Amino acid sequence: MFIVIEIHGGAEYATIVTDQDGNNLVFDNYSEAETEAKDCQVGIVIELQNSLKLVKTAQNPERPLRASIYSSTTSEHTLPKH
């Protein structure tokens, strides 16, 4: 599962992208989340994982969290460097 975070204005203003009723948008696949992130000014696709996997990821740098950042100012995305 994936969510999109909008960080326009800086990380202190980060919000999860929601539907018209204010519910968090949750995507079953990366492609759908990526499409939504491209509609944001600065959108980040975040893959949700269970807490055990997150703990393992924090302890194992070879298995980083998957995220992509989209910026409306460049129309490109950047992947975090591992």
The DSSP code sequence of 18-78 is: B-TTSPBP-BSSHHHHHHHHHTSSEEEEEE---HHHHHHHHH-TTSPPPEEEEETTTTEEE
Instruction: Note the pLDDT of residue 48.
Output: 84
Q: Quick check: 80 pLDDT over 70?
A: no
pLDDT tens by residue, 24-70: 999 999 999 999 999 998 888 988 875 445 554 445 555 555 555 55
Residue 79 contacts residue 68 (beta carbons within 8 Å): yes
What is residue 68's predicted lDDT score, i.e. its pLDDT? 57
Q: Above 60 in pLDDT, residue 8? A: yes
Its pTM stands at 0.64
At which residue do the structure tokens 């100012």 appear? Answer: 73
